[in-house]
Amino acid sequence: MSKGGKVENLRDKISDNETDLSLCNLTDVPVKELAAFPKATALDLSCNNIVTLLPEFCSLTHLIKIDLSKNQLVSLPDEVGQLSSLQHLDLYNNKLVTLPVSFSKLKSLRWLDLKDNPLDPALAKVAGDCLDEKQCKQCSARVLQHMRILQEEVDKERERRLLKQREAEKKKEAKLREREAREREARKREKAEEKERKRKEYQAQVAAQAAQEQQKKRKEEKKKKGGPAQEKKAAKAAKTKGKSSLLSLLLRSVLLLLLTAAGVVAACRLTDLRKEALCVPLDRVVDDALTWAQGQEVVRQILRKFTGLRA
């Protein structure tokens, strides 16, 4: 008997190497309990209300014979290929449409019944009838071969997808590398441009400093050359000015004496004083001096110099 879809006293359901759970109104398979009896290699789950098998069911790798006929199965788990010891599988009168491709891995399978299932037409044609032992064995062989072909196609499709994915990844990596290369080249170019700009700025600074130093040097040389010349010129100008001043003073003194003498001579000659004893010799001296001066070049130069100074 079962309660709530669970089997009570499973040991009582085991006879020899077979566990009989048929007609127990089961909706789930008691996988954990069944795993505790690995010597029970045959399992009868017929005439229950099982809709799906959990992946854990495929861990019962000790099972050789499984009867799941007259249930409500709509699919088998993808892990069904793990039942490596399975030789006999009865799926009569369920609601199966297809089988998982891992079904091809049931290499020990020798007997299969898929009658009264809404199978895919291609699968139904391959399965054929299972009216006797021979047909069920043939069904097993043909379905395994068919599922192997499907498995190969699935593997090829998976391989194509993987290849396509790898190619896409390679293209993506190539584009990434290309972008990184462009970025590195751009950074390299920017660094080179920055370096060139700094180099030009440095050269401009050096040239400016050199120009300033050269200008400063020329000024110093000009100052050094111009200093003595200016001093010499100034000294010469001062000396010339001194001589001119002395000569001017001398000429003025002479002129004053001459004017004084001229005044005396004029007084002697133009007034009644000419008859005086003082004027007679003075007139004579003046006449002699004028006669002498007219013959002297120096006096004429002094007079010209004096005239130039006054101008």
45 neighbors 65 (Cβ within 8 angstroms): no
**pLDDT of 58-87, one tens digit each?**
999 999 999 999 999 999 999 999 999 999
Residue 1 scores a pLDDT above 60? no
User: Which residue type occupies 278?
Assistant: L
Average pLDDT on 213-222 reads 86
- pLDDT at residue 306, rounded to an integer: 47
d(CA 167, CA 169): 5
d(CA 224, CA 79): 108
Per the model's pLDDT, the better-predicted residue between 188 and 223 turns out to be 188
**pLDDT of 172-191, one tens digit each?**
999 999 999 999 999 999 99
Of 124-133, 211-220, 258-267, the least confident? 258-267
Of 125-134, 149-158, 248-257, 302-311, the least confident? 302-311
Instruction: State the residue for tokens 């069920």.
Output: 136
Average pLDDT on 145-161 reads 93
d(CA 82, CA 73): 19
Residue 14 scores a pLDDT above 70? yes
Residue 225 scores a pLDDT above 50? yes
**pLDDT of 275-291, one tens digit each?**
666 666 666 666 666 66
Question: Is the pTM of the predicted complex or chain greater than 0.85?
Answer: no
- pLDDT at residue 9, rounded to an integer: 83
Residue 193 scores a pLDDT above 80? yes
Q: What is the mean pLDDT of the chain?
A: 84
Residue 231 scores a pLDDT above 80? no
* 3-class DSSP state of 59: helix
Q: Which domains does the chain have, with CATH numbers?
A: 2-156 (3.80.10.10), 245-311 (no CATH)
114 neighbors 90 (Cβ within 8 angstroms): no
